[in-house]
Chains A and B, each alone.
Chain A
Amino acid sequence: MNKRKKDPVWVHLVLIAAVILVCFPIVFALIKSTQNTEQVLSPSMGIGTSFLHNFKRAFLDYKLWIYMKNSLVISFYVTIGKIILSFLAAFSLVYFKFRGKKIIFIFIIVTLMMPTEVLILGLFNLIANQPAASFLQWASWFFNPVKLLFHPIAYGFGWSNTNLAIIVPFLASATGVFLFIQHFNSVPRSLVDSSRIDGTGPIGFIFHILIPMSWNTIGALALIQFVYVWNQYLWPRVIVRYDANQVVQVGMNKIISIGDSVAWGEVMAGAIIAMIPPLIIFSLLYHAFMKGYALSSNK
């Protein structure tokens, strides 16, 4: 990998071709977002003059800025939550001695096959249904196997339309646990041993050694989770009832109304704007997690 011969041409060609293929749709969207309604439906790729107009319509008139603000707040909380929770869970599975690790690991990993799309109705009832009026009422349902079996969600949290509804169900991350486990297993054993010899407990180990070594994984996870929450569409659409609390992708879809006379220029402008925060986060975190391990002791 440290060969310094002249860069082979074919590598550049391949990469350029790949970049063109990958970036073309965005260039397309960019150009279309500058066109006005008549130009936009035609195959013309000329740069129009309506960008400011389209931008203003999408951002202000369609209130995209409110949705983006909401999405930012939620993405922030969920990302941090996922990182903390999965870090701790993975740490526990790798660095503690106890029985039943395999079961717990499977328990966590299986949830990768339970995406929101599949759970949506149950999740909705759980979040939106009103909580039981009293503990007794709840207990009489929860501890009754027949009721529990046939009406698994008679009572819920009553969080309809709150930020809690879009944050709390997503705080745990099987992906994160998986990633951190992989990462922890690659940490040199010597570091773990030396910390044990020093007598530092798990918390010390985490803060002084493990976290500094894990920034790249944390960065990767942060990026992925931020984008995942940012792109969420189905769940917020179902649970958030008022515009003021709505998130960006649902808000974007309001610009694409039901079929008559969509202003595609504005839609494309909205799409471009909606892409900017993830791209910013991406460029911020890119360097953080591209740099190698903090320590390269016994290599």
Chain B
Amino acid sequence: MKRVLSLFALAVLSVGMVCAGGNQETSQTEKPVKEIYFWHAFGDAARSQWIEDRADEFNAGHPGYKVVVEAKGSYRDTLQAAILADKQGSAPHLVQVFEVGSQLAYDSGIFMPVGEIGSFDTSDYIKPVLNYYTINDTVNSIPFNSSSPVLYINKDKIVEAGYPADYVPATFSDVIKLLETAKAKGVEGAKFSMCLHGWYFEQWMSEQNAMLVNNGNGRDARATETNLNSPAGMKIGNFMAELAKNDLYTYSGKFEDWNGSDAIFEEGKAMIHITSTADLGNISKAVEGKFKLGVGFIPIPDGATRNGTVIGGASVWVTKNHPEDELTAARDFVLFMTNTENMVSWHKLTGYYPVRNSSVEALKQEGWFDSDANQIVAFNQLLQTKSNKASAGALAGTLTDNRTIIETSLQKILQGADVKSALDEAKILSDTKLKEYNANF
């Protein structure tokens, strides 16, 4: 009897298991309206809520369509998920793609240029930003969350070093001189603390109006070679070498450790720091009461004429294979989400740039910049960026690999390796990766 019962229990369990799978299917059963899916990478409550609120507003004004928003994890996860979904015939209409994934997104073939969905006005978007996302003269995606690097300054330590409180080092040698002077004066934390990230290398190439990759930074034709060991690249490498030689640079030791380096600056172990403008709010809050915070343009290599920075962040792409009306609705949602007032509120919430000229105007009008002088610096740096291929940013499928390779070689340089050989080696590796990628076509 016991045996029978036990076997019965087993059977029930197995049946239950199979049914469990069925019952837990997704909740998308009825489709009275057309659903437009938007996949993004903001896992935190604040930003995802903001996006959902915009979706709700849009839905209210567009009966017959429902924008459904979902956070999918990191940027990579989101793009991978979208591609895999497309393979199964159910790609989301809108996908947020990180900036250096642009070539990958373009090459994946699952997206269509948003500029081909009817016609709409893009003149209000800030030019260098839109340039990044323009491929072959068509606007491919709409910039959504954008940021640039700025210099964060511990004003108290600047004064301690004997400089005027609003001093901002403009060139690499200014930085070195500042830190050396501070060190000599015994200022604690006389160091520079950006995290070790390939992004900064890309920025400094742009500031020198130098191309990261060939073929017009990958925009005239598919890139086939990188320029890591060009004279422009060498200047960056030499800077890092000099910082390391004189013990003026500090970081947590791990690549791309944004938080680690922020913490170092906030705790006063460094006096100047470079990170994204989007972190201005958090850093200001964190150092309140500890020291006075200043912000400036990032320092550039000596001898260069300031060309401007490359926009960072992400944009929203539209996938193919949807009915015409859904595409239009999707495009309208993106344009709505990035319209003047919404970009203003996005900026206030997150610190990302409102990438529309009208939004910047609106902010100026309401005196947003008067209360916090630090904010306007980042804006000015972007608005003063020249519009050319260097500042439009590089377009290549292996930019993420590139960053790791750059970080590895910079770390070697920090540990004392010869700059030229480290960068030469980096170039060989990144060219190989690029060749490997291009072999797919």
When A and B assemble into the complex, do they touch directly, with CB atoms less than 8 Å apart? yes
Given the complex of chains A and B, what is the CA–CA distance between A62 and B256 in angstroms?
25
Which of A25-33, A90-98, A243-251, A277-285 is the contact stretch? A243-251
How far does the Cβ of B380 sit from chain A's closest Cβ, in whole Å?
A: 21
Whether A47 sits at the interface, judged by CB under 8 Å, is no
Are the CB atoms of A161 and B26 closer together than 8 Å? yes
How far does the Cβ of B195 sit from chain A's closest Cβ, in whole Å?
A: 9
- Nearest residue (CB) in A for B16 is A77
Whether A50 sits at the interface, judged by CB under 8 Å, is no
Q: 1/0 per residue B355-384: CB within 8 Å of A?
A: 000000000000000000000000000000
For A130, list chain B residues within 8 Å (CB).
Answer: 88
For A203, list chain B residues within 8 Å (CB).
Answer: 3
Are the CB atoms of B21 and A164 closer together than 8 Å? yes
Q: 1/0 per residue A42-70: CB within 8 Å of B?
A: 11000000000000010001100000000
Are the CB atoms of A207 and B43 closer together than 8 Å? no
- Nearest residue (CB) in B for A246 is B73
For A80, list chain B residues within 8 Å (CB).
Answer: 13
For A168, list chain B residues within 8 Å (CB).
Answer: 21
- Nearest residue (CB) in B for A40 is B263
Whether B440 sits at the interface, judged by CB under 8 Å, is no
- Nearest residue (CB) in B for A42 is B267
Given the complex of chains A and B, what is the CA–CA distance between A208 and B37 in angstroms?
56
- Nearest residue (CB) in B for A207 is B3
For A61, list chain B residues within 8 Å (CB).
Answer: 45
Given the complex of chains A and B, what is the CA–CA distance between A258 and B98 in angstroms?
11
Given the complex of chains A and B, what is the CA–CA distance between A197 and B285 in angstroms?
79
Are the CB atoms of A167 and B88 closer together than 8 Å? no
For B, the interface residue count at a CB cutoff of 8 angstroms equals 43
How far does the Cβ of B213 sit from chain A's closest Cβ, in whole Å?
A: 24
Are the CB atoms of B18 and A164 closer together than 8 Å? yes
Q: Which of A81, A167, A253, A259 interacts with B259 by CB under 8 Å?
A: A259
How far does the Cβ of A136 sit from chain B's closest Cβ, in whole Å?
A: 22
Q: 1/0 per residue B428-440: CB within 8 Å of A?
A: 0000000000000
Chain A contact surface mostly: helix
Are the CB atoms of B286 and A38 closer together than 8 Å? yes
For A81, list chain B residues within 8 Å (CB).
Answer: 17
Q: 1/0 per residue B265-289: CB within 8 Å of A?
A: 0110000000010110110011000
For A173, list chain B residues within 8 Å (CB).
Answer: none
Chain B contact surface mostly: helix
Q: 1/0 per residue B69-99: CB within 8 Å of A?
A: 0110111010001001100100000000000
B316-349 residues at the A interface, CB under 8 angstroms? none
How far does the Cβ of A85 sit from chain B's closest Cβ, in whole Å?
A: 11
A242-273 residues at the B interface, CB under 8 angstroms? 242-245, 250, 253-264
Are the CB atoms of B26 and A260 closer together than 8 Å? no
Are the CB atoms of A254 and B22 closer together than 8 Å? no
Given the complex of chains A and B, what is the CA–CA distance between A237 and B77 in angstroms?
9
Are the CB atoms of B21 and A163 closer together than 8 Å? yes
Whether B10 sits at the interface, judged by CB under 8 Å, is yes
Given the complex of chains A and B, what is the CA–CA distance between A165 and B25 in angstroms?
11
Instruction: Give the interface size bracket for A toward B.
Output: 35 or more
Are the CB atoms of A163 and B24 closer together than 8 Å? yes
Given the complex of chains A and B, what is the CA–CA distance between A87 and B99 in angstroms?
52
For A42, list chain B residues within 8 Å (CB).
Answer: 263, 266-267
For A165, list chain B residues within 8 Å (CB).
Answer: 21
Whether B44 sits at the interface, judged by CB under 8 Å, is yes
Given the complex of chains A and B, what is the CA–CA distance between A198 and B72 in angstroms?
60
Whether A178 sits at the interface, judged by CB under 8 Å, is no
Given the complex of chains A and B, what is the CA–CA distance between A162 and B81 in angstroms?
16
Whether B262 sits at the interface, judged by CB under 8 Å, is yes
- Nearest residue (CB) in B for A62 is B45
Whether A128 sits at the interface, judged by CB under 8 Å, is yes
For B18, list chain A residues within 8 Å (CB).
Answer: 164
Whether B27 sits at the interface, judged by CB under 8 Å, is yes
Are the CB atoms of A242 and B27 closer together than 8 Å? yes
For B42, list chain A residues within 8 Å (CB).
Answer: 257-258
Whether B15 sits at the interface, judged by CB under 8 Å, is no
A189-244 residues at the B interface, CB under 8 angstroms? 203-204, 207, 237, 241-244
Are the CB atoms of B263 and A244 closer together than 8 Å? no
Q: Indicate whether A162 sits within 8 Å of B17 (C-beta atoms), given known contacts A84-B10, A253-B73.
A: no
Are the CB atoms of B286 and A37 closer together than 8 Å? yes
Q: Which of B25, B27, B44, B84 neighbours the largest number of chain A CB atoms within 10 Å of its CB?
A: B44
For A160, list chain B residues within 8 Å (CB).
Answer: 88
Are the CB atoms of B285 and A38 closer together than 8 Å? yes
Are the CB atoms of B17 and A41 closer together than 8 Å? no
- Nearest residue (CB) in B for A262 is B259
Are the CB atoms of B84 and A124 closer together than 8 Å? yes
For B85, list chain A residues within 8 Å (CB).
Answer: 241
A124-153 residues at the B interface, CB under 8 angstroms? 124, 128-130
How far does the Cβ of B377 sit from chain A's closest Cβ, in whole Å?
A: 18
Are the CB atoms of A162 and B258 closer together than 8 Å? no
Are the CB atoms of A257 and B279 closer together than 8 Å? no
How far does the Cβ of B329 sit from chain A's closest Cβ, in whole Å?
A: 22
Given the complex of chains A and B, what is the CA–CA distance between A159 and B279 in angstroms?
41
- Nearest residue (CB) in A for B7 is A203
Are the CB atoms of B43 and A255 closer together than 8 Å? yes
- Nearest residue (CB) in A for B14 is A81
Whether A20 sits at the interface, judged by CB under 8 Å, is no
Whether B33 sits at the interface, judged by CB under 8 Å, is no
Given the complex of chains A and B, what is the CA–CA distance between A245 and B74 in angstroms?
18
Are the CB atoms of A237 and B73 closer together than 8 Å? yes
Given the complex of chains A and B, what is the CA–CA distance between A80 and B278 in angstroms?
48
Given the complex of chains A and B, what is the CA–CA distance between A116 and B67 in angstroms?
35
Whether A18 sits at the interface, judged by CB under 8 Å, is no
Whether B184 sits at the interface, judged by CB under 8 Å, is no
For B44, list chain A residues within 8 Å (CB).
Answer: 255, 257, 261, 263
For B267, list chain A residues within 8 Å (CB).
Answer: 41-43
Q: List 22 A-B contacts (CB under 8 A).
A: A37-B285, A38-B285, A41-B266, A41-B267, A41-B286, A43-B267, A61-B45, A129-B88, A161-B26, A167-B20, A207-B6, A242-B70, A243-B71, A244-B26, A254-B71, A255-B44, A258-B74, A259-B259, A260-B258, A260-B282, A262-B259, A263-B44
CB-based closest 4 A-B pairs: A164-B21, A254-B43, A257-B43, A261-B282
Besides A161-B25, A167-B21, A244-B26, 7 new A-B residue pairs in contact (Cβ under 8 A), listed by A number: A38-B286, A159-B21, A163-B21, A163-B24, A243-B71, A258-B43, A260-B278
